[in-house]
């Protein structure tokens, strides 16, 4: 039997590379697997040999102990791979195809999937709509930070790259199609970004930088990125963004210095529930980003909210935050007729178009998020550096495809 190693959550602040079973076309019991999914046959699936799999900020929430993730949960929902086995019922995907895997698992059969709402598929998670690989309370589908991974509903879920050699050449860009590039793009689209827009993106992590890249791609006139991390702000500046240093205070005054007015047309929250207040000594204040976005977004505008919010946070600052209940100034949003879009990005709504933009050199997402490939056994180091604020998108290279 072929060996398989994977990155697993062990305890708050700790991940390890462990030996795990080679995937089969039946879901087995294990850490985080929903009991209702145990024994589920996956003849519609394929087994991928992982080409690239990325460390995501959403993974960091689990690793910090801010979720109910169990020990030995195999991590990884940003997956690109080569098909090495196909299930009995797979018709169009073939062995040898190199494909991007949307992080949200979708059946392609339910009402939501047929309406392109693949982030809230009704059939893959027994607990609630929506699922993902290697993530707590998402159905227990094993993560892809591993040598090999099972992908269900392969004909529906997989985005096949048209040319193998071209795909491998551009893999550091293409690996971003599994999550952060469509997620950032979704944030920009739902915020209403278009030609001539002024845009504020809260957060200069990889998703924020992907949202800023997307705003440029959509024709924004000015893209402003706010953060407290100087290295991440420098990364945003490197591809033409204006920046706001939130360690110096809130964004409105600094935005006014850039635009002449203290507001923007469109706002994107790429931070989520571990947000901090403004100022050099700011502590955690999870509603900060949403409330500040409502203040600085022009009346009639929209907020795209790809940043993650949860219903259970053991490390929340108070009892309300532990249940995902935040103190929002909803009256501000109502008075200004603001629109809000939250939730998982429906990756399949955007990934093919963004793939074409990459393949035809219309965008350099890997450069913009400072992608760096590292071996699988260096994953614990990558997690630690990313958690410490490195302005880097770490791409794991489990099987040596990446130079």
Domains of the chain in start order, with CATH, are 5-179+346-397 (3.90.180.10), 181-341 (3.40.50.720)
* Structure letter (DSSP) for residue 248: G
Residue for token pair 């035809």: 360
CA distances from 49 to 23, 28, 81 (A): 11, 19, 5
pLDDT number for residue 280: 86
Q: What is the mean pLDDT of the chain?
A: 95
pLDDT number for residue 377: 97
Whether 397 contacts 372, CB under 8 Å: no
Distance CA 10, CA 71 (A): 5
Whether 145 contacts 63, CB under 8 Å: no
pLDDT number for residue 33: 87
pLDDT number for residue 317: 86
Q: Strand pairing of 79-86 and 14-19?
A: unpaired
- Enumerate residue ranges in the chain where pLDDT < 70: 1
Q: Which two tokens stand for residue 339?
A: 């629109």
CA distances from 160 to 96, 154, 174, 355, 373 (A): 10, 10, 11, 10, 22
Distance CA 323, CA 314 (A): 9
Distance CA 347, CA 335 (A): 32
Distance CA 105, CA 93 (A): 17
Measured from the Cβ of residue 118, the count of other Cβ atoms closer than 10 Å reads 27
Distance CA 135, CA 175 (A): 19
- pTM of the predicted structure, to 2 decimals: 0.96
pLDDT number for residue 323: 87
């Amino acid at each position: 039997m072929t060996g398989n190693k994977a990155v697993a959550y062990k305890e708050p602040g700790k991940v390890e590379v462990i030996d795990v079973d080679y995937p089969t076309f039946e879901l087995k019991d294990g850490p985080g697997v929903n009991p209702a999914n145990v024994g589920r046959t996956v003849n519609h699936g394929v087994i991928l040999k992982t080409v690239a799999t990325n460390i995501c900020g959403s993974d960091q929430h689990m690793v910090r102990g801010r979720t109910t993730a169990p020990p030995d949960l195999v991590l990884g929902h940003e997956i690109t791979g080569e098909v090495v086995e196909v299930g009995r019922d797979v018709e169009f995907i073939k062995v040898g195809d190199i494909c991007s895997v949307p992080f949200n698992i979708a059946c392609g059969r339910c009402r939501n999937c047929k309406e392109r709402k693949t982030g809230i598929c009704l059939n893959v998670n027994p607990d609630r709509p929506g699922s993902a690989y290697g993530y707590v309370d998402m159905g227990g589908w094993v993560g892809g930070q591993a040598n090999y991974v099972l992908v269900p509903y392969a004909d529906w879920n997989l985005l096949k790259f048209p040319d193998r050699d071209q795909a491998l050449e551009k893999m550091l860009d293409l690996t971003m199609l599994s999550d952060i590039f469509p997620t950032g793009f979704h944030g920009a689209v739902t915020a209403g970004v278009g030609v001539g827009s002024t845009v504020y993106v809260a957060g200069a992590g990889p998703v924020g930088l992907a949202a800023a890249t997307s705003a440029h791609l959509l024709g924004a006139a000015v893209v402003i990125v706010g953060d407290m991390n100087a290295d991440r702000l420098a990364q945003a500046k490197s591809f033409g963004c204006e920046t706001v240093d939130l360690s110096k205070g809130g964004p409105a005054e600094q935005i006014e210095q850039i635009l002449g007015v203290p507001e923007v047309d469109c706002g994107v929250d790429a931070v989520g529930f571990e947000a901090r207040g403004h100022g050099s000594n700011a502590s955690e204040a999870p509603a900060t980003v949403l409330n500040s976005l409502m203040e600085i977004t022009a009346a009639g505008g929209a907020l795209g909210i790809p940043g993650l919010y949860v219903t259970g946070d053991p490390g929340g600052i108070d009892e309300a935050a532990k249940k995902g209940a935040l103190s929002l100034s909803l009256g501000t949003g109502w008075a200004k007729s603001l629109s809000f879009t939250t939730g998982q990005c429906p990756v399949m709504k955007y990934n093919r178009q963004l793939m074409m933009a990459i393949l035809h050199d219309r965008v350099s997402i890997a450069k913009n998020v400072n992608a760096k490939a590292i071996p699988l056994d260096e994953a614990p180091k990558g997690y630690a550096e990313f958690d410490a604020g490195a302005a880097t998108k770490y791409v794991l290279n489990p099987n040596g495809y990446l130079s």
